[in-house]
Amino acid sequence: MTVAENNENELKKLITERFFSIFESHSSELSKEEKIAFGKTLALNLISIASIGLVIGFLISFLI
């Protein structure tokens, strides 16, 4: 492994650790209602992204 790859892996590891530590500290501060609202928002966003993907897939299949 080169020095650049090693540095990149260390950077990714550091970013991941920081993200999870921030997420865990913020997650413990959220109330039950806020967690449910966040989950619903996340679910709706994922459904929207999936729907857009399906529409794009259908358009591509009709064009081919």
Same domain, residue pair 22 and 35: no
Residues 5-34 pLDDT 10s: 677 778 778 888 887 777 776 656 667 788
Encoded amino acid at 30, one letter: L
The model's pTM: 0.47
d(C-alpha 38, C-alpha 34), whole Å: 6
Shared domain check, 64 and 35: yes
CA 21 to each of CA 6, 7, 29, 35: distance values in angstroms, whole numbers, following the listed order: 23, 21, 13, 17
pLDDT in tens, 40-62: 999 999 999 999 999 999 999 98
Residue 35 and residue 25 share a domain: no
Query: Are 37 and 64 contained in the same domain?
Result: yes
Q: Are residues 43 and 20 in the same domain?
A: no
Q: How many domains does the chain have?
A: 2
Euclidean distance between CA atoms 37 and 24, whole angstroms = 17
Domain with 62 in it: 31-64
